[in-house]
Structure 1
Amino acid sequence: MSNLPDWAPEFNSPLDEKMGFQLAELSAERVVGSIPVEGNEQIFGILHGGASGVLVETLASLGAYAHGRTIGKVGVGLDLNVTHVHSATRGRVTGVATAVKLGKRVAVYSVELRDDEGTVTATGRLTCQMIDPR
């Protein structure tokens, strides 16, 4: 059984492809996906903080899109916050985005990133404004 809706493949962006993003689960309430550390490191050989930010925003944005489909809206990012708490040096980093608020005007997601050993590498939050589609 797939944890992805039929429409999920249409949201594979060029940046997601460059980063090696893999989506595992997608609903308005919860989104799970990962990126490899390799190819996304900074100069010191650890996962780049910007890569963590992209993963947080990608997961939460997908959740906001799933939510928006139920109310005729689309989510656009208003505020992104990422706190890095542990370095990732190998394997994959997996994020879980959990809905905090699914409203008509605002959707908020809390995201936790973990390495293959289960250590939290970063936490984040994305707030999306829900707008009418163009």
Structure 2
Amino acid sequence: MTKLPPDLSPELIARLADSGGGELPRRMGIEFIELSAEYSVARMPVEGNRQVVGLLHGGAHVVLGESLGSISSAIHAGPGRYAVGIEINATHSRSVTEGWVTGTCRSISLGRTLATHEIVITDDDGNRLSTVRMTNMLRDQR
């Protein structure tokens, strides 16, 4: 069960429940544990997300980070608004070949038009594997 903020819009709750966070995160086995604008956590299996030499694919790190940053920004945007990613970068500092990885997302800046998050991805032993930073533009629905 994912822990959600009590004031989360029913529309966003329904979209998250229906989509599992989106097609790609669902396909990659991402499990959302806690979601809020300021702090979110998700995990992902290494198996099924490895590149040709057996390491967790660098792009998988970015997908986990972007999933957390996007949902956290959408929560911050609130009802009648949505988040669009405009910048993302990742620094990979360690590799992993098995187990699970955990992404912990913390807000850096939550403004009216931009939201920036840092996502730290760790292995089962708590070793930092990657640091992802993402900025989303917050827009009004038309």
What range is the shorter-chain TM-score in? over 0.9
SS of the residue aligned with 2:101? strand
Give 5+ residue unaligned stretches, structure 2: none
Matched residue count = 133
Confirm or deny that 1:4 pairs with 2:21.
no
User: In structure 2, do the counterparts of structure 1 residues 3 and 130 end up closer, same or farther at CA, with 3 Å as the change threshold?
Assistant: same
Structural RMSD (CA): 1.6
SS of the residue aligned with 1:32? strand
Partners of 1:11 and 1:33 in 2: CA distance: 15
For residue 62 of structure 1, what is the aligned residue in structure 2? 71
| Offset of residue 81 of structure 1 | 0.4
CA contact 2:42–2:102 (8 Å) conserved in 1? yes
Confirm or deny that 1:86 pairs with 2:94.
yes
Q: Which amino acid aligns with 1:74?
A: Y
Tell me which stretches of 4 or more aligned residues in structure 1 moved more than 3 Å: none
Per-residue CA shift, 1:56-115, capped at 9, x if unaligned?
Answer: 100000100110116x42110000001000001111110011011110110000110000
SS of the residue aligned with 1:38? coil
Confirm or deny that 1:99 pairs with 2:124.
no
Give the TM-score normalised by the residue count of structure 1: 0.93
For residue 52 of structure 1, what is the aligned residue in structure 2? 61
- Residue among 20, 26, 29 paired with 2:29: 20
SS of the residue aligned with 2:78? helix
